[in-house]
Amino acid sequence: MNATKRHEIFSRLQAENPNPTTELNYDSVFELLIAVILSAQATDVSVNKATDKLYPVANTPESILKLGVTGLKKYIKTIGLYNSKAENVIKTCKILLDQHDGEVPDNRKDLEALPGVGRKTANVVLNTYFGQPTMAVDTHIFRVSNRTKIATGKDVLEVEKRLVRLVPKEFLLDAHHWLILHGRYVCTARKPKCGACIIEDLCEFKDKTEYA
């Protein structure tokens, strides 16, 4: 795909949704971090249902640490992998208090040192809260990037690096959200809504007929 097409794609996505953001509910960087940790292999809807009950009770490292693993599990037991996630969240809270004065770090190295925080989670926090032009490639972004040919790659890291390099700089900060939302609601996995897609004429996917 050439640079002109990419620019037009993101111009249209921007025009349709000028201020995209995550669908996770949060009011602080700590709430965002915990929500993203909980969202691994889970839907944003299921995470929001849990955190809507958890955060009014505990929404700081200190207060969640006081709940303990058992207490935390009561709030997140509807989320997949909640046992390991509860362990990771409690460990993360302790590290934030012991090593970062209770603050969420604004750099990849320290974020990825937190239990339950991988590259994708760190990228979400760095992009969504700290305004850094990172690209958190999930299944939606990986699919959309490869299917449209915006940025192809065999694995998520390859796609991430190509997107950061190829997305026009003026769109890079919000591209993460546009691509996720496009993959979640339009360019879906099993039956993409090509007829309702605002970038269909720019997409370089060759086998659209299989979804007709």
The residue annotated as part of the active site, out of 73, 85, 120, 174, is 120
For residues 139 and 184, give the distance between their C-alpha atoms in angstroms, rounded to a whole number: 9
Residue 53 falls in the annotated catalytic set: no
For residues 61 and 174, give the distance between their C-alpha atoms in angstroms, rounded to a whole number: 28
The residue annotated as part of the active site, out of 73, 85, 138, 174, is 138
For residues 104 and 102, give the distance between their C-alpha atoms in angstroms, rounded to a whole number: 7
**Cα–Cα–Cα angle for 57, 41, 97, nearest 5°?**
40
Residue 110 falls in the annotated catalytic set: no
For residues 53 and 205, give the distance between their C-alpha atoms in angstroms, rounded to a whole number: 42
Got the DSSP string for 180-200? Answer: HHHHHHTS-SSS--GGG-TTT
13 near 199, Cβ under 8 Å? Answer: yes
Residues designated catalytic: 120, 138
